[in-house]
Structure 1
Amino acid sequence: MHSIKNNLASTINFEQLRTFALVLESGGFSAAAERLGLTQPAVSVQVKQLERRLGVRLIERVGRRIGPTPAGADLMAELPQVEAALANAINAATFHSAGVAGRVRLGTGGTGCLYLLPPVLRDLRARHPLLNIIVSTDNTGRLIRRVEDNTLDAALVTLPVASRALAVTPILRDDFVALCQRGSRRWPAEVTAHELGALPLVKFAAGASARDIADDWMRRCGRASPPVMEFDSVEAIKAMVAAGLGVAILPKMAVTGRGHSAELDLRPLEPPLHRTLALVTRNDKPVSKGLRQVIDAVVAAGKETEAAAAAGDAPSGRPAA
């Protein structure tokens, strides 16, 4: 029986599996055909061939809609592992190729995407023009799940990371700072939660790791304060503060160096607050030459950014008038 199953698996056409999955994901044979650039009969034939090879019906029509049979549902549940295994096998083989090429899927939060990655990606493109780096932005929780599912090769996230499936490389300690419109307030050298809690706060939208960290700090200091405005974009928050519509707590990386704005005054927090950014990959992920180049470049950029901040190279804002 074991040999029969092995023979069956070895003759399954991966394109048929992909077509079967796309029919269910897109809601019909015609929609799948359009996405694949095939005719609807050609898609139907691929699914029927797969059903005939497996000896079981995979798709059924329920009313006006189609859905998986119990066998089809079980097959769909296993397909992510099949795709991950194939991607790992390809990565393992291409690791031995002469040049750095292929595709690397990198995830990051919005702040890292705006203020850490641009020079990294520019340098990688100059050195490895055949390397295709696809960058996705999301919050830390979803990025971790996508690395675990192997839909991302690596991700830049905020610690802590509890997953045992992931290798974690801390790359950057990023302090948080308070900011206001330049000249609008007489702030002390360090700003407390008590002072911030009495002011209109512009915050990240709920679910962002930076929002959670800042809110936890405010609560620990006894000043939970609702926002007057919420944004997904750090640049939108900076623009609102620069317009005098509120104050904010942001990662220092977002408002110094590349993110520096002459319209903002910055202050350290008291007690101090920071986050640690880390690069995560799956423990069992074969590291291709392309992925190795990306990992090394991101880690180096994080260390350089941290060293520059520690040395005081980045502007920190002058006292308000």
Structure 2
Amino acid sequence: MFASVTACGSLLPDLLTPLRTTHPRVRISLRTGDAASALALLDQGETDLAVAALPDRIPATLLTRQITHTPLVLIQAAALTAEQAPDLNKPFVLPRQGLVRTAADHWFRSLGIHPHIAAEADGHEALLTLVALGYGTGIIPDLVLQHSGVRTRLRQLPTPSGPGQLAIGICIRRADLHRPLIAAAWAETRPDQSNRSEHAAPS
């Protein structure tokens, strides 16, 4: 299984509890890393299941199920002078790739802005650190911000119309659904399953 550090802390405990309860002998290998790599790793066979941001167009080879969504927010270092509205002419820190970068680029184009990109980062945690150090304004999923270890060093900026939101989902390869373990994981990781009693009969 692949999930970002944020997903491991904020989503997986509830998501995996039913699987752990119903199939206690199933061994899980959990890999973390840059969220932007999740679907590529799944498609390449590097992982069997991924928790990832979902693109508008899902490859036909994958099955996905949305489990939550999160808005994209603008942030800056808390040590900087507070702004009533973000100054879009100031430097930005953006992800090097992935859906957040795509959404940010689309947002800038819709506003007719050519941003000054002071730094790019691989991974949300690296981006948050650069923003906290004062390199520029960042664009980040709110879910990541709320679970960040440097949250107290950051400030969210008010925006009347932000870069949008991301859908977060669980993903598997369609061809793997016949595999018993994958089928069990897919069946037991429905969002409504997380509310099921921990005392369900184990298999």
Same fold (TM over 0.5): yes
The equivalent residue for 1:292 is 184
Q: Could you say if the C-alpha distance between residues 294 and 196 of structure 1 is closer, same or farther in structure 2, counting changes exceeding 3 Å?
A: farther
Between the aligned partners of 1:299 and 1:172, the Cα distance in structure 2 is: 8
Between the aligned partners of 1:133 and 1:277, the Cα distance in structure 2 is: 21
Between the aligned partners of 2:47 and 2:159, the Cα distance in structure 1 is: 35
The equivalent residue for 1:266 is 156
Normalised to the residue count of structure 2, the TM-score between the two structures is: 0.73
Normalised to the residue count of structure 1, the TM-score between the two structures is: 0.49
Looking at both structures, which has the greater relative contact order when contacts are Cα pairs under 8 Å and sequence separation is at least 6?
Answer: 2
1:277 aligns with one of 165, 168, 172: 168
Post-superposition Cα deviations, 1:110-154, rounded to whole Å, max 9, x if no partner, equal 64346433x3588479645532222344555x6435444554322
Post-superposition Cα deviations, 1:226-268, rounded to whole Å, max 9, x if no partner, equal 4211221322222222233322110000111x32622211135
Percent of residue pairs identical = 19
What residue ranges of structure 1 are gaps of 5+ in the alignment? 1-105, 304-321
Kindly report which structure 2 residues correspond to 1:296-315, keeping only aligned pairs within 5 A, or say none. 296-297=188-189, 299=191
Matched residue SS, 1:197 = coil
Aligned partners of 1:171 and 1:302 also within 8 Å: no
Q: Could you say if the C-alpha distance between residues 211 and 302 of structure 1 is closer, same or farther in structure 2, counting changes exceeding 3 Å?
A: farther
Q: Is 1:161 aligned to residue 57 of structure 2? A: yes
One-letter code aligned to 1:259: S
Between the aligned partners of 1:121 and 1:167, the Cα distance in structure 2 is: 17
Matched residue SS, 1:224 = coil
One-letter code aligned to 2:148: G
Across the aligned residues of Structure 1 and Structure 2, the Cα RMSD in angstroms comes to 3.4
The equivalent residue for 1:87 is none
Offset at residue 108 of structure 1 (A): 3.4
Kindly report which structure 2 residues correspond to 1:1-321, keeping only aligned pairs within 5 A, or say none. 106-109=1-4, 111-113=6-8, 115-117=10-12, 119-120=13-14, 123=17, 127=21, 130-136=25-31, 137=33, 140=36, 143-148=38-43, 150-157=45-52, 158-182=54-78, 184-188=80-84, 191=85, 195-205=86-96, 207-256=97-146, 258-259=147-148, 261-272=151-162, 273-284=164-175, 285-286=177-178, 288-289=180-181, 292-293=184-185, 296-297=188-189, 299=191
What residue ranges of structure 2 are gaps of 5+ in the alignment? 196-203
One-letter code aligned to 1:154: L
Larger Cα-atom Rg: 1
